[in-house]
Every structure is written in C-alpha cells, then in structure tokens.
Amino acid sequence: MSSRQDEPVPQEPHKEAGSPACPAQWVGAAGTAQDPQSRSRHVTEVVSTGPVRHPRTLPATCLGPARLPQPVGAPGGSQLCSLPDPRCPQVQRVLQPLSLSLQQLSRVQHHMLAAMEAGLRLRKGAHTVPMLPTYVRSTPDGTERGSFLVLELRERDLRVLRAELGGSQEAQLKDRIFAVPQDLREGKGEKLFDFMAKSLCQFLDDLHIPATSHQLGFCFPFTCITTGLETSKLQSWSKGYSCSGVVGRDVGQLLQAAIQRQASHDINVMVVVNDTVATMMGCRLGTKPCEVGLIVGAGTNSCFMEEARYVESLDDNEGRMCVNTEWGTFGDTGAMADILTTYDEHVDAGSLNKGKHRFEKLIGSLYLGEIARLLLVQLAQDKALHAGGTTPQLRTQVGAVPPQCLLQKLGLQPSDPDCFTVQQVCLAVVTRAACLCATSLAAMLTHMRKNRELPQLDVCVGPAAFFRPRFRQTLLEMTKKLAPECTATLVSAVDDSRAQGVAVVAAVALRLEAQRREVDQLLQPLRLAPRARQQVQALLQCEMERGLRQETHAQASTRMLPTYVRATPDGSERGDFLALDLGGTNFRVLLVKLRSREAGGICMVSEIYSIPPEVAQGPGSQLFDHIVECIVDFQTKQGLWGRTLPLGFTFSFPCQQKSLDQGILLNWTKGFTASGCEGKDVVELLREAVRRKNQFDLDVVAIVNDTVGTMMSCGYDDPNCEVGLIVGTGTNACYMEELRNVEAVPGAEGRMCINMEWGAFGDNGCLDEFFTHFDAQVDRVSLNPGKQRFEKLISGMYLGEIVRMVLVELVEKELLFQGRPCPALQTPGIFPTKFLSTIESDGLALRQASAVLQNLGLAASVEDALLVRKVCQVVSLRAGQLCGAALAAVAEKIRDNRGLAQLAVTVGVDGTLYKLHPHFSQHVQQTVKELAPRCTVTFLQSEDGSGKGAALVAAVACRIGAHVCHLPGH
C-alpha cells in the first residue's frame, strides 16, 4: 500500500446518479458507451478478463437514492467517497490504496520521463520503455491523395479496405471483414499470411477493380522492431495469436511473399505500422494534424513525433520521426513499486505474463474488471457489500461468462446501497487509471516540449478508444496539473480513423518520396561531383600560370598581382610600428609593439575613427586630410609626438602595386567616391596630406591588402603560414610564389607574395559550365554583372541570394509551403547569408529554421523547415567545396614550385563566413585534403589580421634591411 501523507488528488464527481461507473464502458471499444445524459440510466458490466464486451444495464431503480461521492480533498472529506451509510468507513478503507496524491503521480511522471529518455539512447539504463522508431517521418499536411489498400489484422478478424484519399476531404472507404479462425491464429504462420493474401485478393476480385498496381498499408498491432517503413520484425505475439515461425521475422516480407504466391494481383506492401501509429496518423483537428497517438482499451500504448536527433539508433537525425513507446511495459523493473496495491499484485500473479506490462495492468480494460472484482471480494468479506455474503462466482474470474446484471451474475441479490457501492468501486478503479494515464501523457508532452525547446507546447492527441467523458476529463485535467506548460487537445476518433491512418502513412511516404525526387532534380546542378571539383582545381592552376606570365596576363581571370612582400615573419621582428586600416566607413589607427615572446610578444593599442559620408564622397584631399588628423590625434594620445615610426597601410580597395610602398587605386568600392584618387598612388596622396599638415613626418613602409595582412599576421605565430585566405562578404587569397615565376617583377631569387584577386576567377568564361541558372539570376541583378564570378559562388554577399532564388522556384513548383504565394521571398536581400549560419547550426537547426521563416512571415511546417535547411546545406557545401578546390590548386602550385614530394603549409584565414558558418570551414578543409593529398594543410584563424598584418609587413621589411627599424630606446 502507498502512503497517504501526501495531498490527495481530487477524484471526479458524478454528474448524475445514474452515470456510468465501469471501466469497460469508459475505455472500451467503439459502440459500447452510452451518453451520460441518456434518459435510461444504467450500470455497465465491469468484470472482464478478456476483450471488452458489450454492456448490459441495470434498471435505474437498482441505483437507489444513495448520495454521490464527494471529491477527494473537497470540504467534508479527504477519502475516495463519503456516504451516510454506517458501512462507509469500510468502503473508504478498502478503496484507500487506489487514491494517489499529486506528489505520487509526479514521481510516476518523473520515472516515466526518465524511462523514455533512457529508451531513446543506445546504452539503455534502468526503468526503460522500448521507444521504437517507426520510420514515419511526417504527419499529413492535407495534400495526400490516391488510392490505397489497407489490411488490418485484429483480435479475431481481418479487415480489408480500399481507401480513396482526396486531400483535406474525408477518405472514401470500402471494406470487408473476414473472420480469422482460431486454428489460423494458433497454427503455422505461413497459413495465416496465406489467408490474409487470399482475403485481400478476394476483396479486389469482388470489387471488380481493373488490373493495376496497388499500394498496401499493413496494420499489424503487435510489438515489432522496425528498420524501415515496410520492414518490421515481430518480437512477440499477443491478443490470442501464437502462430509459429513468425517471431523474429519480417512480417512485411512474409505478407509480400504470400501475395506473390497468390499471383493474381500486383500488390506492393509499402508500410507496416501498428494500431497506435495508425491512430495518430488518422486523426486531425481541422488543418492541424495529431502528433501523439494514444490507445487505452484492452491494452495501452502511445506514440509521438520525436526530434530525430534524440533517437540514437538512427543514422539520419534530420527532422522528426514517430516513436512507438510501448509504454505498457513501464514499471516492469520496479519503477511503480510504491503505488502498487495488493489487488494489482493479485491481478499480475494471475496473468499470463506475470511481472510484465505492469503499467498496462493498471490502466487497460483487460485488467480493470479483475481489479474491481477483487475489491468487491474484499468488501464482501468486510461485510460492506450484500451483508458480507459471497458466492463462488464472486471469487472466480468471470470474464468469459455471458454478460448479465453484474451483481446478479455474481450470485448476489443487490440492494440499492450495494449498487451504489459497486459504482464507487468502478469510479475508484477508473479514476486511478485515468490519473496514471495522465502521468505518462504528461511525461511525453514534457519530453516533447523540452526537446523542441519551447516555452509552451500545444499538440493534438489522437485516441483510439472512445473515452467516456469522465475518463477524458480526468485525463486532461490531471495532465494539465502535471505538465502546466503543455496543452493537449484530444481529437475524437471515428470508426475508420485507424484504417484511414494506415492509408495516410502510405500516402505521406509517397508524397515525401515524390517531393524528394523533384527537389533532388532541382538541386542537382548545385552539387559538385568529385570530377567537377577536380576540374575547378585544374582550371585555377591554369589561370594562375596565365596570370603570372607577361604574354597571357591580360587574358587571365586571376590577376596574380605582385605585392612586393618578399618574406613572412620569422619571429625575430622587433620594434614599434604604426598601422593604418582603411576598408570601410570606419578607419583604424594602431600602435603595434613587437617584443620577444618572453617579453610578451605583440602588444597593440588601437582607436577607431569614423569617416563621415561627406568625407568619403568628397574631394580626395579632404579624405586624406581627415586620415592625417586622425593619426595626429592618435599619436598625441599615445605620447608618440616627435617619433617617426615605420607604418604599414592596409588599404582594402583594388590597387595595382608598383613596389612595396606604392599602390595605384584602380577604383573605389564600398560607398567611397572621393574624387581625384583613382589612378593615383594612395601612399603618395597620404604623404601629400602629411606635408600639408606640416607638423610631423610619416614613414610609410608598405601598403597591403587585407588578405596579405591576414597571412602575415598568422605567419608571426606559425612560420609555415605562406597562404592567406579571406572568405567573408567577399573572398580573396594570396600566397608566397617563387620570384622566378613572377614575370612582372625582375629577379629570380627568393619569393614574393602574390595577391591572386581570385574573386574574378571565371570572369573569362572558364567556369561557365559550373554556373546554374540560380547563379545567373544573382549575377544579372548584381552591381557588377559578369564580374567577380567566383566570388559570387562562394562569398557571404551572395550565398543568401542564391538560396532565395532556389526557394522561390521551390514555391513555384509547389514543393515548399504547399505552393502558397510568398511575397516576402520576392524581395532581393531578404534572405542574408547569416541565415545560412543560423539554420545550419547543429542541434538547433529545425527550431532555428522555423524561427527564421516565421520572422519572414512564412508559415512553415516541419517539412518546409527541413527543406529550407537542405537548400542552405547544398548551397554552402558547394561554396566550401569550390573554395577548397581553389585552395588545393594553390597548395599544389607551391609544392610543385619547390619540387617536394610532400608539402606542409599553413593557411591564415579570416572572414565571417569561414569563422561563423558552422560547417563551411569543414567543407573547405575536407576538399583540400581530398584534392591535394600530398599536401598537409593547416588552417590558422587570424585575429586582427588587417591591422597587425600591416605592421608585420613593415617589420619584415625592416628585418631584411629595406628600412631602419625603430627599437625602443634607439
């Protein structure tokens, strides 16, 4: 017996004296229940150890004038009932063990939640329930159509149906029922499946359906291990079946083989599901599908749509999957020991599966009648029923006896108080069952809410049993108490919801498969095969060679510009340096102090100054005067006045360099239009502004772009860093080339950093075969059509637009959002590349995708969110592979230049796409490893490469003697 110290749970009161009070009526099969407001009051048979049977009723006079029981916890009493009869304390004492407190139910809920979560893990712990994947990946969206055959194996018969699904309309069903003889239920399995196949073919023959291919859904209501929609291996028989040669075998294959032996119809067994899954799939509330299936009848079970990433046995963790809980086995390892009563133990001891399915034995109608009988025996022995009289029938399980008036069947002559006492017993048994069912439903809903990371969860639950109003009310009220953040709406099942659900499973599977094929066909041009990646690598190697040679430089799409940076840092650089960083509307001045690593290494101080639009777009002299004013302000604040430090200038605009400290501006970008600058040496423009100020000297040692700065910044930490890469809003790369190969610069000794400007790779048409019509659309509406073609395939400025173009076409083809118009998607730039990083985040992908689409005003289903994520993955994967192929070309060029069998090189990387996208860097690295197997490439992310790198270029120049280095104290 359980403790009664906790606060009791309110029990549900009667609404009228003649309201039903038996478990068989409340949770029995369809057609057994009468409306509680019916004029003919009745009591339904409660004693049942077999399948639920049709009720028999007592005359209303049998109920007598006895007062209805008060709710537990209500004023005036805390027990199950409170009657004016002198025997009432005895009734209270006998029924007391069935009354559970809210704290006890909460403990059961906690244990059930732990058991579910353990059941989803590969390494299961104690108190588990099986949690079996069903491979049902989606609920219906209302567009399912088609004709399907359904085979439903039931306890004593076989139902064959033909279901016509017409979208959101109710299914049109034609069916026939075939009795399954007992000898088939207990004989050889092959004969049972031959019987099913023969019945199926006979059904089709009787309908005179023309010869065609039929898709079949098989409802098989037994415990199975499922490895695919059509693959289910039977674990154990139940419900009176014990056919030999079936346990451990695939029932879908057995049925398919039997159909082929008939050789009269072309029937394909598409799906095998149990009745719980079929129930969930066959119910919906308006346009809202059910995501939980619940059966409480002779037995009990449930299923729900789980986040696939939490099902460890799955290889594919995308989206959701229906999981069959088999929760009837909960408690088999002792998780409910503290609430089990002696009556429950007696029922278990007399069952065919002692110690098994303990939870089911507390709430399934197959067992509730026996619990009620044992309570009646105890009451009779305590003289609280029929003055203590008992009969042999009352002491015997009588589920097989033809139904009669309950007490008369038990050999008793009931009085009005006796009839009312029976009502109390039935009410206590069923109320406990409803409360326990609520604990498990609350655990499931809590699990769903937590896994979906929602503050509130609102789901529809599809019940297979025709819950009586009181059972339903108690279930919902107690579920809300135990899971207040969750709202469960019970959808009323109809006669054919289970059969319709089987057809819907098949229809959803066909819909998803057809959609997958169309989506794959549409996305195929965006996928790069290994051979295509090799082609890109080879094309870039060719363009690099063309760009380095004088006679072909003009035709090359990669500019291969000399930077006059002749070495990378070796760690011996020392001194104080200034750095300027101009790349946008913010301008930065830095003081970079290089010390030995023992003395602290690099120390930097910087300040950011804004460049007003009128300065960026005014006369060039005004812009450079403003830059000099910022330098003066910084030097004053840092106490540098009077010192002339070597300066590195990061100038992130297209320049043609003539020497390390000379850069001819080719054209402004990023909103700058300062006049009188294009075609001029920007270093000289800066020096002229210093001379106009006439207050200090400025020693400009080097002008570099941000890619070179990235390589030099990482080179200080890793001497092997000889490649720079930026993949952010735009993209570019640089590397250390053998000077003998740089025909634009005299000399043959040593090396020089080459600014590839690879964003323009393909502008000469060499990449046309890799451009899709989505890329063409993006290029056509860009600010520079036909230019920077490679950059438009892989950089952050364009990936979001490519995804948007794909989504627009998916909507037009009715593959996304069910073809509903999406005006928001027609807006250029509404889907920025940062959305790809958000949507592809591990663990939160589905939620993040839904949130992004919702913020855009797009009502997305789970399948829509998954499809949008898939598009993002395809586009970002291609970008990463293209970048990796180009980088492999650079690595192989360096290795070949040096005649090495194996090259070890480090790539210094910067850029928001590379750093912030959850998978882009992996795509790049994997592709480099694949295409450059003789190169060991290490990637090192740059910190502040554009500023620190410029100072390091100046420092390296000092080291190799181009300038005098200004050391502290010198």
Q: Are 96 and 239 in contact (CB under 8 A)?
A: no
Q: Which amino acid is at 613?
A: P
Q: Are 602 and 614 in contact (CB under 8 A)?
A: no
673: its two tokens: 């239009």
- Within the chain, what is the greatest distance between any pair of CA atoms? 121
Q: Cα(473)–Cα(479) distance, rounded to whole angstroms? A: 10
- Crossing angle for the helix pair 342-349 and 365-381, to the nearest 10 degrees: 120
Q: Cα(16)–Cα(34) distance, rounded to whole angstroms? A: 14
Residues with catalytic roles: 588, 652, 706
Chain centre distance of CA 61: 59
Residues whose CB falls within 8 Å of the CB of residue 468, separated by 6 or more in sequence, listed in order: 20, 25, 26, 27, 33, 36
Classify 819 in phi/psi space as left (phi over 0), alpha (psi -120 to 50) or beta: left
Three-state SS at 533? helix
Q: Which amino acid is at 162?
A: R
645: its two tokens: 């430090």
Which DSSP letter does residue 678 get?
T
Give bridge partners of residue 562 from the DSSP assignment: 754
Which backbone phi and psi does 799 adopt, to 5 degrees?
A: -60, -40
Q: What is the 3-state secondary structure (H, E, C) of 310-376?
A: HCCCCCCCCCEEEEECCHHHCCCCCCCCCCCCHHHHHHHHCCCCCCCCCCHHHHCHHHHHHHHHHHH
Over the Cα atoms of the chain, what is R_g? 39
Three-state SS at 851? helix
Number of H helices, E strands in the chain: 28, 28
Residues whose CB falls within 8 Å of the CB of residue 554, separated by 6 or more in sequence, listed in order: none
Identify the burial level of 219 via C-beta atoms within 10 angstroms of its C-beta, where 0-12 means exposed, 13-18 middle and 19 or more buried.
buried
575: its two tokens: 């001194």
- Crossing angle for the helix pair 102-120 and 469-482, to the nearest 10 degrees: 80
500: its two tokens: 């319709």
| Tokens 């209500």 belong to residue | 74
Three-state SS at 905? strand
